[in-house]
Amino acid sequence: MKSIDGKIFSSVEVSKSGIDFKNTLSETDKLNYFTYAYMYMGAGVSAGDINNDGFIDLFFTGNQAENKLYLNKGGLNFEDITTKAGVSGDQRWYTGTTMVDINNDGFLDIYCSVSGKFEPRNNQLFINNQDGTFTESATAYRLDDASHSIQATFFDYDKDGDLDVYVANYPPTKFGSPTFVYQQNMRNVKAIESDHLYRNDGNTFTDVSEEAGIINFGLTLSATVGDLNNDSWPDIYVSNDFDSPDLMFLNQKDGTFSEVIKQATSHTAFYGMGADISDFNNDGNLDIFQADMDAEDNKRQKANMSSMNPQLFTNIENAGFQTQYMQNCMQVNSGVYQNEIPHFSNISRLAGISSTDWSWGGPLFADFDNDGFKDLYISNGSRREIHNNDFFNNLEELNVANDSVLYLVEQIPSEKLDNYMYQNKGDFNFKRVNKDWGVLSSKASLTV
């Protein structure tokens, strides 16, 4: 419903909502981008009705901050029940989070992914005790994955009536590593570095990654599920960062998956980040939006652009990886051609949604204006522009010998940006409507 001035959204002040969570990062000489390159990847947020009162509650994870659970009291007013609920965490480097009824008792539980350079790094599972409290039970359910996890996606891959889970991992890899490093890692995948698929066996889960055929090495920033070939079985799209190619796993209906990214697409994003799956053009086929980090304005494009290195492009091609370009991809699904493999074509330039800056992990399709077409919201931003060419080209001019590492980190540029709200106008046409719809927020937003 639009307001009198035509705006669909309005901001709610902290004084009214009670939601005061901040994922504040404290940079030091020992902990900063140069000592931990993944410091700015962010945490997560999940939403769900944890007490079955009809109101949607919110849970936030923190990197250096405590997790926070807010109970929705109605009227957009929330109560911080973190301490009572027992979900504040234990100073792990939390990333993504998902609310899911993992034990089929009718109450939502909370699963938290964990990454970081510190131990312990096992994921955590908070089981809902149905009385406003939770009990951490990841080990009991055998979901205490110790990889560098980014997010978990729950779905019933074997259609046996319970929810299984795909855990997306981002193994530490030096930024700028040559393509052959990715080749070697892909040929000799270590279990701790792969994404993982866990089958729900009732009161416990079993790691079936190898038998399901999803063992892989990739810098995964999202794993999204949908029936991509209209065979009524859920498939998986894995969005991978840097040289590591994206993966499209088609469900073979027998507990295994087949990887078909090269057959299904002509190219993907290079810095593959967040992704969402939805039928945005209402043709009955699920489409895929994948975010990258190409900037919209010329100055930021040039300052943060990837290397103009033809050899890097050639190396990726020669390695047999899928072709990759530094831009968002709106992959339109034109249906199945042969062997049950769907065919996708990227129309992001045509649709006007190819460049939304550093869009880590949060694209979301939804019909925000209730016109029958799914619109697109994209969160973006980073604490510091760690790819800023001007900064690194001028680094030698700084007095590195006399200045602390922290001082150098603080010189890395940082610019607050608005997230992107696009109205789906139909006919593959999207219009940016931040101002018209009242969506203005100049902050670094890493998920939605």
Position with higher pLDDT, 310 vs 141: 141
pLDDT for res 402: 55
pLDDT over 90 at 127, yes or no? yes
pLDDT for res 414: 84
Average model confidence (pLDDT) across the chain: 92
pLDDT over 80 at 58, yes or no? yes
Binned at pLDDT 50, 70 and 90, residue 175 comes out as confident
Position with higher pLDDT, 337 vs 45: 45
Taking residues 144-164, report their average pLDDT: 98
Taking residues 24-30, report their average pLDDT: 93
pLDDT for res 183: 95
Binned at pLDDT 50, 70 and 90, residue 445 comes out as low
pLDDT for res 47: 98
pLDDT over 70 at 228, yes or no? yes
Percent of the chain with pLDDT over 70: 94
pLDDT digits 0-9 by tens, 94-104: 999 999 999 99
pLDDT for res 358: 85
Both tokens of 342, joined, read: 């769907």
pLDDT for res 237: 99
The predicted model scores a pTM of 0.94
Residue ranges of domains in the chain, CATH in brackets: 14-437 (2.120.10)
Binned at pLDDT 50, 70 and 90, residue 25 comes out as very high
Taking residues 367-374, report their average pLDDT: 98
Taking residues 261-273, report their average pLDDT: 96
pLDDT over 70 at 1, yes or no? no
pLDDT digits 0-9 by tens, 325-351: 999 999 999 999 888 999 999 999 999
pLDDT over 80 at 443, yes or no? no
pLDDT for res 70: 99
Taking residues 184-212, report their average pLDDT: 97
pLDDT for res 222: 96
Lowest-pLDDT range of 121-130, 182-191, 413-422: 413-422
pLDDT for res 6: 74
Q: Which amino acid is at 9?
A: F
pLDDT over 70 at 400, yes or no? no
Binned at pLDDT 50, 70 and 90, residue 301 comes out as confident
pLDDT over 90 at 187, yes or no? yes
